[in-house]
Amino acid sequence: MKPSYAYPWRDTIEYIKLRLEEAIQEAELAIKFLDQGLYRNASGKVFQAWKALMSAAAAKNRELIAKHYTGVAKDRTGRIRSRADLIIALMPTTRLREVASILVEVYGREILHLTDIAINIHEFQYNGLDPEGIVSRYTNLNDVEKDIKYLTEKIIEWVRRLSQT
């Protein structure tokens, strides 16, 4: 049976491969949900796809991530781990933009731009549409749909890109 999970501190290559596969699968689900008119579900899936992709990109550049996230922290089991490894493994939403800004050094500003779109979509997932633009940047479903499709296309491109290097 093929493993479905690997820790970045045990097998970085397998971890990256699995996270890239996860990104593709989540992106495909996002499009299926979108086709069914399930905008918030699609938003959640495309956001998870982007987080998986970011985790793979961070794992490929662990040394760079480790420069910014020094020291150690306890994982859920109480084991001491490198803070960088925990950021890579969990890719917390609260650190997503920060990690993207670090990875700009390797991948250019597009990674930051796409991360901002992913965060906007994530915000929509929780808050829905807001005609006033206060709790969500989206005021209509057309913009939501465009961004989900755009981010999905970009995820597929980035998976190919990260798979080749």
pLDDT category of residue 7 using cuts at 50, 70 and 90: low
Residue 120 resides in a domain: yes
Measured between alpha carbons, how far is 147 from 165 in angstroms, rounded to an integer? 27
Q: Which amino acid is at 42?
A: A
Residue 101 resides in a domain: yes
Give the total number of structural domains in the chain.
Answer: 1
Are 129 and 27 in contact by the 8 Å Cβ rule? The answer is no
Backbone angles phi, psi at 74, to 5 degrees: -85, 140
pLDDT category of residue 11 using cuts at 50, 70 and 90: confident
Residue 3 resides in a domain: no
pLDDT at 1: 42
**Is 90 exceeded by the pLDDT of residue 6?**
no
Residue 1 resides in a domain: no
- Domain holding 84, by residue range, is 12-164
Residue 139 resides in a domain: yes
Residue 81 resides in a domain: yes
β-pair partners for 30: none
Cα dist from 19 to 24, 74, 111, 129, whole Å = 9, 22, 17, 30
pLDDT, the chain, mean: 94
Residue 4 resides in a domain: no
Give how far the C-alpha of residue 133 lies from the chain's centroid of Cα atoms, to the nearest Å.
24
| pTM of the model as a whole | 0.92
Measured between alpha carbons, how far is 132 from 114 in angstroms, rounded to an integer? 24
pLDDT digits (tens, 9 = 90+) for 113-127: 999 999 999 999 999
Lowest mean pLDDT among 7-11, 21-25, 67-71, 85-89: 7-11
pLDDT category of residue 77 using cuts at 50, 70 and 90: confident
CATH number assigned to the domain comprising residue 69: 1.20.120.330
Residue 58 resides in a domain: yes
